[in-house]
Amino acid sequence: MTNNSSNIPNEPLARVTNLTAAYQDRVVLENVSLDVIPGEILVILGTSGCGKTTLLKHFIGLMKPAEGNVELFGEDWWLLDEPERESIIQRIGVLFQNGALLGSRSMGANVAVPLEQHTNLPDTVIDRVVKMKLRKVGLRGMEKLLPSELSGGMRKRAALARAMALDPPLIFCDEPSAGLDPATTYNLDRLLLDLRDNLGLTMVVVTHETASIRRIADRIAFLDEGKLIFTGPLEDALTTDIEPVSEFFKMAGESVNS
């Protein structure tokens, strides 16, 4: 059921190479190279304003690099034509912090959006897919409710169902647990792990929550002042001497909220 994307088994699903990112003249990422490996949950860390969201925007083709390359499923994004981009867009799910649900549309109608935009499926089939996706995120039977009738955690899960509507093998999440309480965050993390383990999804997740990081991260990429200063397995991130990384985990360990 997963449309397993890349032809060569361990070829990265996404890759930025020597990426320099800028808003007008202001450089916010410098010479960043990072691969997304099939089947992993890659967690992007770094203090607020260090460029995490900017990096995600480059991975999904929303921002054009000032320098460097972006590849998705082995294709150089900025060399593709429109139809090729469209076909790749359908293989990426995005759960952005501010990518809110449409307030006037029911949960089901929200999840249906990508199916209406990118497929010619008849309504009856769309309804069936929507029900299936909502069930997958633990929202069975809630398709008629408005986003305002649900809790923050349920809205997040509905947004995830929408991101998964087209069965993308690769999902990008920007601070999915921002504003959620610890128990809700725990449940969302279980869901992400379930998607990785049972659907083989690959995920790139930006989060600050240490508890979350320890639960879900296979690998960490740590940004500091626009530079990628660490990439490696979670265990290595927890024991590294690289100062901003060790400081991050030390401070997080001392914080009551984490």
Ligand X SMILES: Nc1ncnc2c1ncn2[C@@H]1O[C@H](COP(=O)(O)OP(=O)(O)O)[C@@H](O)[C@H]1O
Segment 42-101, which members bind ligand X (CB under 6 A)? 46, 48-54
Identify the residue among 28, 165, 201, 213 touching ligand X (CB under 6 A). 28
Residue 182, binding choice from Mg ion, ligand X, none, Cβ under 5 to 8 Å by partner class: none
Partner interacting with residue 177 (select from ligand X, Mg ion, none; CB below 5-8 Å by kind) = none
The answer to the question of residue 162 lying near ligand X (CB under 6 A) is no
Closer to Mg ion by Cβ: residue 53 or 212:
53
Minimal distance in Å, beta carbon 207 to ligand X?
A: 11
Contact segment (CB under 5 A) with Mg ion among 14-22, 53-61, 124-132, 234-242 equals 53-61
User: According to the binding rule CB under 5 A, does residue 177 interact with Mg ion?
Assistant: no
For residue 218 the two structure tokens come to 């296979």
Positions in 66-85 near Mg ion (CB under 5 A): none
Give the nearest residue (CB) to Mg ion.
53
Q: Between 29 and 164, name the residue whose CB sits nearer to ligand X.
A: 29
Kindly report the length of the chain. Answer: 258
Cα–Cα distance between 66 and 57 in angstroms, integer? 13
- Distance, CA of 10 to CA of 215 (rounded, Å): 24
Q: Which does 176 bind (CB under 5 to 8 A by kind): Mg ion, ligand X, none?
A: none
DSSP at 114: H
Smallest distance, ligand X to C-beta of residue 50, A: 4
The least distance separating ligand X from the CB of residue 213, rounded to whole angstroms, comes to 15
CB of 174 to ligand X, least distance (A): 7
53 binds Mg ion (CB under 5 A): yes
Cβ 29 to ligand X shortest distance, Å: 8
Residue 204 and residue 36 in contact, taking contact as beta carbons nearer than 8 Å: yes
202 touches, from Mg ion, ligand X, none (C-beta below 5 to 8 Å by class): none
The entry of ligand X, Mg ion, none near residue 48 (CB within 5 to 8 angstroms by kind) is: ligand X
Separation of alpha carbons 24 and 26, rounded Å: 6
253 binds, among Mg ion, ligand X, none (CB under 5 to 8 A by kind): none
76, amino acid identity: D
* Residues engaged in binding Mg ion (CB under 5 A): 52-53
